[in-house]
Amino acid sequence: MSRILIIGAGIIGLCCARALRADGHDVVVLDRDPPGDKCSFGNAGGLGITEFIPASVPGLAWKVPGWLVDPLGPLSLRVAHFPKLVPWLLRFLKSGTWPGVGRITAALAPLAGRTYDDMLPLLAELGLMDDLHRVGALWVYDTAEGFAADARFRELRRRYGVVCEEIDGAEARRMEPALSASVQYAMFTPQWSHVSDPKRIVDRLREHVEQRGVAIIRGEAEAIAGTELMLADGRRLAFDRLVVAAGAWSSRFAAQLGDRVLLESERGYNTTLPEPGITLGREIIFAERAFVATPLDMGLRIGGAAEFAGLDAPPNYARSDALAELGRRYLPGLNTKGGTRWMGHRPTTADSMPVIGRSPKRPDIVYAFGHGHTGLTFGPTTGRLVAELIADRPTAVDVAPFSIARFQ
């Protein structure tokens, strides 16, 4: 079997390592800080099987100016980064047509449809089945206009088998008494679930693959030279196959091969409140404000926001504070003291689809990155697909739409 080197020890890289090791390959995972903080750890903990509709949709562009000037809005942009963002932004806006939404949704829905098929065996292997809470999610709205505007998306989700139960604000408060009276409309998606602690899953998975013979090496990848990976400290790691699963940093390696990709760090923020003073039974998605609140083992995590500032700018934790303030508006009894603030680099493509597939320039190199908000949800399935590609087996999901060639 092949010696396979994986760049990246986040949820995607580790799921690839698990699947490839199960196929009998000699697997090595490289990461600058294998147990360190990643998007895999700081996400909101949801298995968003409904999340196959792209971020760019008709009408979105008209909302952006208002979001940018709202200190509690879901979007911020650092001016110095704007020139670098322009190519990504143009492709993002170009995708936001109804035909574009239909095409992207048709590609992503089968990926979402495999979530439990591939996640449940993983959790069973890790002994973490009790960490999965299949209690659905509640999407809440302040206004009739906001609820009506999402009607087309509810129908699109139903077309692909997602149950969307429309309820009023009173019924939403019966389900979640902590919600304020400002909630007038809601949607319940019973197929959604959340986990107790996303970090525990990643930590346990890393230990699990190591126990099964995967070598995890600390080091910073610098360049691909033939069938060797050059590290910043001068070491060289030989490979037969290379899997690039480096999240928001993956475009740097693709560029070395001449593969263009429109990938940005969509910097996400959250605040985790250890003593929130309220109880939620499930993840709440505040649809008009584009943030979520999830009950986790370590407290209530309030997350969301998208900031475009590149990979190197320091965090702006005022974004985390804004999320806590928004949470208090919708959850009147919320105690926002003592929260832990966090920022992570969500690897987001301009068309909301991940990059999964071989490099057109180097068939011995496979890409697995760009999952945006859905790394935890799609991680086990992506690992399966990468193993199937390397083994030249038919893939469980058609990966043609996810080829990096779409950006050439």
Q: Is 255 exposed, middle or buried (0-12, 13-18, 19+ CB in 10 A)?
A: exposed
pLDDT score for 20? 98
262 pLDDT band (50/70/90 cuts)?
A: very high
The whole-angstrom distance between residue 228's C-alpha and the CA centroid of its chain comes to 29
Amino acid symbol at 64? V
Structure tokens at 66: 């208002």
First to last CA, the chain: 32
Query: Which token pair is 259?
Result: 């593969």
Cβ-contact 260, 367 below 8 angstroms: no
Q: What is the mean pLDDT of residues 244-271?
A: 97
- State the CATH number of the domain containing residue 250: 3.50.50.60
- List the alpha helices (DSSP H) in 127-249: 144-149, 151-159, 169-175, 198-211
Q: Which two tokens stand for residue 292?
A: 């979520």
Residues 395, 408: Cα–Cα separation, whole Å: 23
Q: What is the mean pLDDT of the chain?
A: 95
CB 362 within 8 A of CB 377: no
Residue 359 lies in domain: 3-407
Per the structure block, which two tokens stand in for 195?
Answer: 């986990």
188 in Cβ contact with 173 (< 8 Å) = no
Q: Tens digits of per-residue pLDDT, 38-83?
A: 777 789 999 999 999 999 999 888 888 887 888 778 889 999 999 9
- pTM for the predicted model, two decimal places: 0.96
| pLDDT tens digits, 107-144 | 999 999 999 999 999 999 999 999 999 999 999 999 99
Phi/psi for 43 (5° steps) reads -70, 175
Question: Kind and range of the H or E element at 358?
Answer: strand 355-358
Strands 228-231 and 221-225: antiparallel
pLDDT tens by residue, 179-203: 999 999 999 999 999 999 999 999 9
Which tokens go with 297? 């083992």
Higher model confidence: residue 301 or residue 304?
301
pLDDT the model gives residue 41: 76
Domain count, the chain: 1
Q: What's the rounded mean pLDDT across residues 263-277?
A: 96
- CA dist 58 and 79 (Å) reads 25
